[in-house]
Amino acid sequence: MEIIDGKRISEEIRQEIGAEVASMIDKDLRAPHLAAVIVGDDPASQTYVASKEKQAKGVGFTSTVYRMPADTSREELMGVIEFLNNDNDVDGFIVQLPLPAHIDEQEVLLSINPAKDVDGFHPENVGRMALGLPCYIPATPNGIMELLKRYQVETAGKSCVVLGRSHIVGSPVSILMSQKTTPGNATVTLCHSRTQNLKEVCREADILIAAIGQPRFVTADMVKEGAVVIDVGIHRVEDPSKKSGFRLVGDVDYDEVAKKASMITPVPGGVGPMTIASLLQNTLKAAKKQVYS
């Protein structure tokens, strides 16, 4: 069994990006600029945005964070987005989700300039991805494809089962895995809460991607001998043996499933670290379009 080391691969990607930024600076081009907008003080979102900012700076990007209070009005948020859409010094930006309940998420995503939508959440980018056209692919699905590529996982003609149909992970990764690409060309089954005979369906998978949002949902009896298992989940569970009182687990019962899998992503250190690396890749792509045009 081989562990798919997302921490190592994400460091590799960040080094590649850092080298490209250095060569842009050598050519007297400005550094790529990623901006993030965060509304409210959700602790998980604050942590994510702080990591994005730190890693962006780590590869030599300029990073700006717009921190707005929870009672920010729709108009105020739209004003900041409008400013970022038109600021030629900003290559890409994200609006951290979730947003406070009084703000319509869809309306906000639609208002982002698709050329700067490095999260790949704008319907134009989603549509372009579905059609296999140049676009920004959302960070987590892109990170999964990058892991499969760099570990040279054979996907063509293989059976791929995706658990979960979220707009952020399950749905896009199922589209990418079915496309005529490498990795890709898999025979994809997308499972969700209404799927019947789930255990049997999962047991057919050569590649099993778990993005269902339930701790240790995937047990060893759901996994085929020799399968490649990608775990997108991240959950805190109580663990009195830890100083913190908790530990992190994924959507997969790692200890048992690892005995059957040929390759598996751990939690933490698997898919998680890949997501920010993917966001940085998208931002570099946006910057190159802007500064070389």
Provide the binding-site residues for ligand GUN, judged by CB under 6 A.
94-97, 119, 139
Specify the residue for token string 């240790």. 216
Q: How far is the CB of 148 from ligand GUN (least distance, A)?
A: 19
| Dihedral (CA of 189, 126, 94, 90) sign | positive
Q: How far is the CB of 92 from ligand GUN (least distance, A)?
A: 11
Q: Which of 91, 119, 231, 253 is catalytic?
A: 119
159 beta partners: 187
Three-class HEC string of the chain: CEECCHHHHHHHHHHHHHHHHHHHHHCCCCCCEEEEEEECCCHHHHHHHHHHHHHHHHCCCEEEEEEECCCCCHHHHHHHHHHHHHCCCCCEEEECCCCCCCCCHHHHHHHCCHHHECCCCCHHHHHHHHCCCCCCCCHHHHHHHHHHHHCCCCCCCCEEEEECCCCCCHHHHHHHHHCCCCCCCCEEEEECCCCCCHHHHHHCCCEEEECCCCCCCECHHHCCCCCEEEECCCEEEECCCCCCCEEEECCECHHHHCCCCCEECCCCCCCHHHHHHHHHHHHHHHHHHHHCC
The residue (of 93 and 217) whose beta carbon lies closer to ligand GUN is: 93
The residue (of 263 and 267) whose beta carbon lies closer to ligand GUN is: 267
The residue (of 97 and 130) whose beta carbon lies closer to ligand GUN is: 97
Q: How far is the CB of 70 from ligand GUN (least distance, A)?
A: 16
Concerning whether 106 is annotated as a catalytic residue, the answer is no
The residue (of 94 and 218) whose beta carbon lies closer to ligand GUN is: 94
Specify the residue for token string 């940085």. 280
Q: How far is the CB of 291 from ligand GUN (least distance, A)?
A: 24
Q: Which of 55, 96, 281, 290 is catalytic?
A: 96
Concerning whether 119 is annotated as a catalytic residue, the answer is yes
Q: Which of 52, 116, 158, 224 is catalytic?
A: 52
Tell me the residue number closest to ligand GUN, measured at CB: 97
Concerning whether 104 is annotated as a catalytic residue, the answer is no
Q: How far is the CB of 97 from ligand GUN (least distance, A)?
A: 4
The residue (of 80 and 97) whose beta carbon lies closer to ligand GUN is: 97
Which residues are known catalytic residues? 52, 96, 119
